Amino acid sequence: MQDAWSHLGPLQWIRFVNKQIKVTAGKDEERRGWLVTVDPVSASLVLVDFREDGKMSVDMVMGHAVEEVQVLQEADSETLDRLQNSLILPKTCSLDAEELRRRRAFLQTWIQKNRIPVEEEGEELRVAGVLTIRAPYRPDDCCSSNQIILDRIQKLIQNLN
C-alpha cells in the first residue's frame, strides 16, 4: 500500500486540494492540515495550519513516505479565502480592465522609447517576438526562453517603477 498515493495521479490529487487532510507518514507520524498542493513530480503534500497568532505553519510531507491520506473536512469560504491569500500561492491579478489597459499602454510606450519592438497581443505584450508580459506587467510577469532578453526587459521595467 505504500506507493498507492504516489500512483494516484494529478487528476486524483487535485481533488484533495483545499480540504483538511490527515496524513500518516514514515513510522506512525501523523500530520493534519489544509492541503494546498501535491507536487506531481514527487507526490509530496503541502499542508497548512492556521495558528492563533495569525501566522501559518506549513508542513511538507514527502510523497515517498506517505502511508495513508484521509480527508477530514472541506474548507468553508473563510478558510478558502485565507488559503488563497496565503503567501505560498501564486497571486492572481486583481486590477480592473481600465487600469490594466492604462498600465499596458504606458509600458508599451516605455519599451518603444528604448528602441525595442513591442506589440500588443490581447491583454499581453509581446516583446521582440520572444518575450511575453502578462498582467499586471511587473518584472515578475515576464516570460521568455531567452535569459538575456528576460534580464534586460526586467531591468527596464524595474527602472520604470
Partner 1 sequence: MAAPVSVLRLPKGPDPNSRGFDPKSPRFIALCRTSISMSAASEADPEEQQREQHARTTLRERFLHCLLAMTNKKVQFHMYEKVKVEATFGASDIDMLHFQVSDLHTPIGVQKEALIRCHDVISLTFDA
| Minimum CB distance to partner 1, residue 8 (Å) | 9
Q: Who contacts 106 (Cβ-Cβ below 8 Å, separation ≥6)?
A: 160
If we measure between CA atoms, which residue out of 128, 137, 131, 132 comes closest to residue 157? 137
Q: Which is nearer to partner 1, 37 or 132 (CB)?
A: 37
Q: Is 60 in the site for partner 1 (CB under 8 A)?
A: yes
Rounded to a whole number of angstroms, the CA Rg of the chain reads 21
Binding residues among 2-31 for partner 1 as defined by CB under 8 A: 6-7, 9-11, 13-14, 17, 25-27, 29, 31
Q: Who contacts 63 (Cβ-Cβ below 8 Å, separation ≥6)?
A: 5, 6, 38, 39, 42, 43, 44, 45
Contacting partner 1 (CB under 8 A), which of 4, 32, 42, 68?
42
Q: Is 89 in the site for partner 1 (CB under 8 A)?
A: yes
Beta bridge partners of 121: 124
Q: Which is nearer to partner 1, 17 or 128 (CB)?
A: 17
Contact (Cβ atoms closer than 8 angstroms) between residue 116 and residue 130: no
Contacting partner 1 (CB under 8 A), which of 55, 94, 98, 115?
55
Q: Footprint of partner 1 on this chain (CB under 8 A)? A: 6-7, 9-11, 13-14, 17, 25-27, 29, 31, 36-44, 46, 48, 55-62, 64-65, 86-90
